[in-house]
Amino acid sequence: FLRHVLRLPPPLGYTHEEPLAKNVPEKAGRGGLRQKNKPKDVGSDSTAWCKEAMWKNDVRPGASWGRLTVKEQAEWGRKQCDQLVTEKAMFVRSEALPDCSAGSGDVSRQEVVAVCCGTTTRKVTGPQISKLALFRYLLPSIAHTVDCGLRYMVVVGYDKGDPFYDTYHGLTQVENWFEQHMQVPLAQRGVNISLRLVKVVNTLKKPGPVFNTITKYAYDEGADYIYRVNDDTEMASPWAKKFISQ
């Protein structure tokens, strides 16, 4: 549920640290970095077909066929849609983003809604954006369901030492994805949204104290409302103003 923020004491065993500094990445070894095999059929027609089929039929790549017919499933396989969709991490539908460009008003006067979640890749083999629930479910659903007239702050907490988030390459990928798929497209439609990545010294390896850390961070950053969710939560329809009004 959405609630007014409360000042929370620092959790025991946890300390908030600033986001990972962007150090210069290590140079590639002799021969450079290996490129992953690309799909054989990567034309724009295939990409468009896969994207439309995924959203129209509620397909979850690697998990569920959704409403695809047997014939469409065969076509999905022929076009290698699993690989196309996940490599491009195209989980945000630009046509589904709300348009708040008319009458958005003074952004500085808008109330701030913080959506906070913890995430980890500790047990994920070969972590990459296309595999992570945060980018497949939570973030796209936030983009599709924002209300006009509010500012949004997405606060993501991750463990110090996380094999993906606590690296230069991982952090850069996350920031670039958010900017390309959410921040810029929504700004063009009159919605202000930002991403805050919070590194936490997680000695207990438990989620509860992480939630305390990120919600306190949101409070300290000026959030008027805080909504604590999981990284695989999906918003089905606009929610913020409804929760605020209750």
Task: Report pTM.
Answer: 0.68
Same domain as 111, residue 76: no
Domain co-membership, 65 together with 137:
no
Could you tell me if residue 160 is inside a domain? Answer: yes
pLDDT beyond 90 at 128 = no
In angstroms, the Cα distances linking 24 to 5, 27, 162, 168, 178 are 37, 9, 18, 8, 21
On whether both 112 and 196 belong to a single domain, the answer is yes
Domain identity same for 207 and 86: no
22: pLDDT strictly greater than 50: no
Residue 118 phi, psi (nearest 5): -105, 150
Domain hosting residue 189, numbered range: 104-245
pLDDT tens digits for range 186-238: 999 999 999 999 999 878 777 787 888 999 999 999 999 999 999 999 998 99
Q: Same structural domain for residues 190 and 241?
A: yes
Indicate whether 159 pLDDT > 60. yes
User: According to the model, what pLDDT value does residue 66 have?
Assistant: 83
